[in-house]
Amino acid sequence: MKKYLYGFKLYFLNSFNYRFNTVIHLLFSNLGILMQILFWRLVYDGDMERILNGYTLSSIITYYFIGGLFRRFIFGSDYMGMIKGGSLGQVLLKPYNIDVLAYFKNLSQRLTSMLPQTLFVLAAMPFIYKYLTWNLSFVNMVFLILFLFISTITSLLLNSIIGYMAFWLENAEAVMWSFVVLLNLATGMFIPLDFFPKWSVPILERTPFASWGYLPTKIYLGLFDLNQMIELLITHTLWVVFLLVLNKIIFRMGIKKYSSVGG
C-alpha cells in the first residue's frame, strides 16, 4: 500500500506544476455551471415557490452547483493511450497493480481539481447563498459518501473497459467520444434525469452512470427516503461486482492480442 500512497503523493504534487491549466479549467468549467443556472432561473422566472418535477428553483441551482463538485469523482483511464503507444507491456512488468495505481492517480488529480472549484464556490457563496438548499442529515451524508466511492470505482472500470477497445480497433477514440456524449446525458450533467420521461427515470437511476453525480446530488437534496437509498445502494454495489469481473475478462481477452509495438 505504501507504494500506491507514494504514487498518490507524486501525482498530487505534480498537479500543482501546471497552475495556468488549473486556472483555465476553473474558469471554463464554472462558466458552464453559471450558464445552466441562468437558464433555469429564466425557466422558473425567478419564482422560488414553483416546483418542476420535484425541483424548486433553489434545489435546481443547488443541483448544478453541488453536482459540479460531485462529478469530480468520475475517474478516467489511460489504457487506450498505453495500448496504442506500446507502453502497456512496460507497465505490466512493474511490481504493482496498474488498476490500483490508476485509482490513486485519479484520486490525486480529482482532489487537486476540487481545491480551486471549492474556492470558487466559497467566493460565490455571498451571492448565491439564498438560492442554495441546505438539507443534509447524518444518514444522507453516509449514503452520499458511499455513492461517491462507488462512482469512483464504476467510472474507472467502465472507462477502462472502453479503453480496452484499442486491443481490437485501430481508432478507438471514436468509440470513446460516442461514449462521452451518452455519458453526459445518462449522468444528468445537462439536465436532471427526473426531466426525462417518467417511465425511464427508475431505469436510468439504476444504471452505473447515475452514481456519477446525479444520485449523490439527489441524496444531498434529500429527495430519496431511506428505503430508496438502501435499494439503490444494493443495485450499484452489484454493478461494482459485475464490472470488476467484466473488466478482468475483457482485459485477459485483449492482452492475448496485444503486441508492444513502439514501447
Give the three-state DSSP class for 189: coil
DSSP tag of 213: T
Residue 261 forms part of a structural domain: no
Q: Considering its fold, how many domains does the chain have in total? A: 1
Enumerate the β-bridge partners of residue 52: 55
> For 26-60, what is each residue's pLDDT tens digit?
555 666 677 777 888 888 887 778 888 888 888 88
Residue 58 forms part of a structural domain: yes
- Per-residue pLDDT, 53: 84
Cα angle, residue 217 at apex, residues 184 and 239 outer, rounded to 5°: 65
- Per-residue pLDDT, 263: 45
Residue 250 forms part of a structural domain: yes
Residue 99 forms part of a structural domain: yes
Low-confidence ranges of the chain (pLDDT < 70): 1-32, 86, 89, 91, 94-95, 113, 115-117, 119-121, 170-178, 258-263
- Write the CA distances from 194 to 23, 63, 129, 198, 232, integer angstroms: 33, 12, 24, 7, 16
Residue 262 forms part of a structural domain: no
H-helix segments, the chain:
2-15, 19-43, 57-70, 79-85, 88-92, 98-128, 138-163, 173-186, 201-205, 214-220, 226-255
Pair 193, 210: CB distance under 8 Å: yes
Residue 27 forms part of a structural domain: yes
φ/ψ of 72, rounded to 5, equals -65, -15
**Could you tell me the residue range of the domain that residue 26 belongs to?**
2-255
Residue 260 forms part of a structural domain: no
φ/ψ of 52, rounded to 5, equals -125, 115
- Per-residue pLDDT, 224: 92
Instruction: Please choose, from the candidates 184, 154, 118, 151, the residue with its C-alpha nearest in 3D space to the C-alpha of residue 246.
Output: 154
C-alpha grid cell for residue 100?
A: 490500483
